Structure 1
Amino acid sequence: MLSKKAKYALKALLYLTKNADRGLVLISEIANSERIPRKFLEAILVDLKTQGVLQSTRGKNGGYSLAKDPSQVSVGNIVRMIDGPLAPIQCVSHLYYRKCDECLNEETCEIRLVMKKVRDATAAILDTTYLSDLQKINVLVNEEPL
Structure 2
Amino acid sequence: MSLDLSDNGDPIRLLGISDRPLSVDQVFSAVGDAAAGGVALFVGAVRDHDGGRRVTALEYSAHPTAERELRRVAQEVAARYPVRALAAVHRVGELVVGDLAVVVAVSCPHRAEAFEACRRLIDDLKAEVPIWKRQTFVDGEQGWVGVE
Q: Which structure has more strand as a fraction of its residues?
A: 2
* TMscore range, shorter length: under 0.3
- Which structure: larger Rg? 1
* RCO comparison, higher one (Cα < 8 Å, 6+): 2
TM-score (norm 2): 0.25
